[in-house]
Amino acid sequence: MRIVFFSLLLLLNLSAKSLEELASGVLMVGFDGVKAPKFLKKYKVAGVILFSKNIKSKNQLKKLTKDIKKLQPSIMIAVDEEGGRVQRLKKFAKFKSAKKVAKSGEKFAKKEYTKMAKLLNEVGINLNLAPDVDLEYLNNPIIAKYKRSFGKNPKQVIKYANIFTSIMKKHNIMTTLKHFPGHGSSRSDSHKGFTDVTQTWQKRELEPFKKVKSPLIMTAHIFNSNLDSTYPATLSYKTNTLLLRDKLGFSGVLISDDMQMGAISKNYPFKTALKLALNSGVDILLIGNFLDKPLKIKKIVNTIVELVKSGEVKKQRLEDANSRIKSLLLKYKKI
């Protein structure tokens, strides 16, 4: 009842927020260095994302997350900690890839992910941008090549992904299913440029997104004309709202993959990409500041404010996204 009450208070308070606050509240931003970014003093963002460049040791990371929370107590501190080739804590811990975990069996998976969850909690991270629930297809250059998938069979992927998410939740770590509506069937890497899965994507790639429980889902920058003949998934209202929310019933927080990845940045002006992503139903815009030239948060916030003032993005869209994010953080308020 208390969560419901506070959620109602949040909705009432949102109307009093400035456009700048609403715009800040839909951002997850990366930064340079190993100290808490100064922009947190002014901008109340949804979250920050940490990469290996921000992490030197366990003690340094503990201090970093503690200092971040001093500046902003209610915030998502995120990392990509899948295991295998995709992990950020490898300076002091190493975890097996999803493929190796699935091959090792359920007992091993529970042990491995319990160890991972405890470590994330210990160092002050509350959001894991994992698990990857893409199906292993072809000789995929970004999923299969790096052994990021639990397998080809949706049932196997669902089984191990649910082990992952349930253990993370038990240790108060939020999780993120990725990459909706399925990146495993791509023949190219969306980090580098346009990625079309029209001829290879199959509906069964949606199964894990239906059956694995997680508070967040991450979009893919893939183009699939069977779902939307105009826009890639991250920018597609048909994919993110009509399919994911309306048809599949997802009511959690939708986060974009990094908006600086080539599939988006090489094909859409920055302002246009933000507009389309927000209007598609994305709640959190991820700007990693890792794959491209760093973008100052002031520029990002001002761009969103301009979009609202011009009527290209409705203020209500930002209010809805902020409300969904804050409600989620309330559920994990012990973090």
Give the residue numbers marked as catalytic. Answer: 191, 257
Task: Report the chain's terminal Cα–Cα distance, integer Å.
Answer: 20
Considering only CA atoms, which of 211, 188, 213 is closest in space to residue 199?
188
Cα–Cα separations (whole angstroms), residue 191 to 85, 174, 221: 15, 24, 9
Helices (H) and strands (E) in the chain, counts: 12, 8
Beta strands in the chain (DSSP E): 27-29, 47-49, 76-79, 127-128, 174-180, 216-219, 253-255, 285-287
Written as one string, the DSSP assignment of 49-84 is E--GGG-S-HHHHHHHHHHHHHH-SS-EEEE---BT
SS3 content of the chain, % helix, strand, coil (to 5): 45, 10, 45
Instruction: DSSP for 274-314, please give it.
Output: HHHHHHHT-SBEEE-SSSSS---HHHHHHHHHHHHHTTSS-
> CA 78 to CA 101: how far, in whole Å?
22
Cis geometry, peptide bond prior to residue 294 (ω within 30 degrees of 0): no
Three-state secondary-structure class, residue 48: strand
- Residues with Cβ within 8 Å of 42's Cβ and at least 6 positions away in sequence, in order, are none
The values of phi and psi at residue 270, to 5°, are: -55, -50
Q: Amino acid identity of 289? A: N
Give the pairing type, strands 127-128 and 216-219. Answer: unpaired
